[in-house]
Amino acid sequence: MEPQESPEQSKALRIIPLGGLGEIGLNMTVFEYDGTILVVDSGLMFPEDYMLGVDIVIPDYEYLRENKDRVAAIVLTHCHEDHIGALPFVIKDVPAPVYATPFTMALVSHKLEERDLLNKVRLHEIKPREHFTVGPFEIEFIRASHSVVDGVSLAIRTPAGLVIHTGDFKITHGQLDDEATDVSRLAQLGEEGVLVLLSDSTNAEKEGYTLSESEIGGTLEKAVADSSGRVIVALFASNVPRLAQIVNIAANTDKKIVFNGRSIEVSIRIAQELGYIKIPKGMQIDVSQVSDYDDNEVLMVTTGSQGEPMSALARIAAGAHKQIKIKKGDTVILSSKFIPGNEKAITGIINNLYRRGAEVIYEKISAIHVSGHAFREELKLMIHLTRPRHFIPIHGEYRHLLHHARLAEKVGIPKKRILLAQNGNVINFVDEVGWIGDSVDTGRTFVDGKGVGDVGRKVLKDRRALSEHGMVVATMILDQDTGVVIYGPELISRGFVFEDEKGHLLQDAQCVIMDAVEQLDLSGPERIPMIEAAIQQTLRRFFNYVIRRKPVIVPMVLEV
């Protein structure tokens, strides 16, 4: 639902987060001025434990659907799934032009082509420090260091003032390569005057600075060099800087390199085409050639560092991978952070790898991962560089946003100019004054197979009940003319009790159903719904009283 505006606010700049505030993932922010909408990022989130059977979660973007004629562009800060994963779904409903850096755009193109959407949207490649205009918005890409290549922050010039959106970033001292955050440009924008800074809050609880990739590289190279057998490295497919490091490590240790997993093969191909990774001729081999070399000559790179159930690493750990079987002497390196919510799946894989004889190296026992998100000193530096009039913490759970807000206050942003918003809040700016006003409808949309949004809270509640208490199906057949029961009730249970051990329980339940049905007036036309309701109510009470369980009751009443 679109928020109401007064005539004097019609030229207000509005910022509306549709996802990413109060959670890790689902990043999507709307910028709106004088009827034109600009969308920054379109991310997904992987399901939490209670989301049984759900494949992915995307933001509820009903606000964009309702206003699709006003959506002028979708701008992407980088290629992580929590920033681009929902784009194919959004594009189907809101086919606005997309702007992104070359590597991000290459992955987006591949994603859209898989879904036959590539010809339905205009794609525009933009490089850091380049500008483009969308309606009243002038956008500049500013290079931002992250755990991917081609990440950017955004400078968005509006009639109401200059907005800086950091995207995901870190500022590592001593990093002078082409992927370092462009602090000089941020400082220039700070001199120009920044109305509001929207800044990444993921690591707002962590003191100091992030480690540099070079420090992690040394640890990785030592782990590879010290291994006497095969080495398997699992990481995010989009982490091109880490992939490039591993290619260099393979070259330095005279190993052949294998890439296994669809997403990582796509990333390597794109990274090579764009010149981010160069693999020496003859060093890369196919997974089918691994047995042709001694164990200590092989380094394999794969996906599944977050315990994804169908990933290559999960299949390897379970012994279900067709070509890669773990054996004693193998070293497996999980070169990524444990994302909250994935710990149980990851530790399950680690345990299985150990059982099969591998040595496993992961973040809790070795410094083999560096965060792509700024620590507190870098967050302070971002505020000092940009010197914003207002501050909005973004990208994080509520505790991250709160810690970041407190940090901004400590470095000099007045508390009244720190806007601690939630998803759906409409943040208004008029005459350099900002405030949180009305809200729009937002939330989470569950994607299950090809179904988008057809799994809601009730379905999840039923799935949880099925997983915890099982199901009982009660079947009865009536005479159509008389309403007399001519068959049943027959009870079939699944995931509830062993029928041979608890047969008396189901027999007693049959009697309870018959007693309840006999008390009903079955002469009317609505007898089937009446009987089904009676069966559900009676069995729920009976099972709860007798064995304290609440199975899903499915009554099936037919007339013949």
Per-residue pLDDT tens for 401-437? 999 999 999 999 999 999 999 999 999 999 999 999 9
At which of 449, 470, 486 does a domain end? 449
**Tell me, what amino acid is at 258?**
V
Say whether 48 sits in a helix, a strand or coil.
coil
Please tell me the predicted confidence (pLDDT) of residue 181: 95
Does residue 499 contact residue 491 with C-beta atoms inside 8 Å? no
Is the pLDDT higher at 517 or at 171? Answer: 171
C-alpha closest to that of 107 among 61, 136, 76, 128: 76
Statement to judge: residues 444 and 462 lie in one domain: no
pLDDT tens for each residue of 175-226:
556 789 999 999 999 999 999 999 999 999 999 998 777 777 888 899 999 9
Alpha helix segments (H runs only) across 233-390: 240-252, 262-273, 312-317, 343-355, 376-386
Is 3 inside a domain boundary? no
Statement to judge: residues 181 and 167 lie in one domain: yes
Statement to judge: residues 377 and 500 lie in one domain: no
Is 44 inside a domain boundary? yes
What residues are paired with 333 via a beta bridge? 233, 361
Statement to judge: residues 155 and 266 lie in one domain: no
Statement to judge: residues 171 and 318 lie in one domain: no
Statement to judge: residues 152 and 70 lie in one domain: yes
pLDDT tens for each residue of 442-466:
988 877 655 565 555 665 566 666 6
Is 508 inside a domain boundary? yes
Please tell me the predicted confidence (pLDDT) of residue 7: 42
pLDDT tens for each residue of 492-510:
877 776 555 555 788 888 8
Using CA atoms, how far apart are residues 264 and 239, in angstroms rounded to an integer?
A: 9
Helix H or strand E segment including 516: helix 503-518
Statement to judge: residues 520 and 426 lie in one domain: no
Q: Which residue segment(s) compose the domain that 268 sits in?
A: 213-361
At which of 399, 427, 449 does a domain end? 449
We report the CATH number of the domain holding residue 303 as 3.40.50.10710
What residues are paired with 37 via a beta bridge? 32, 71
| Count: domains in the chain | 3
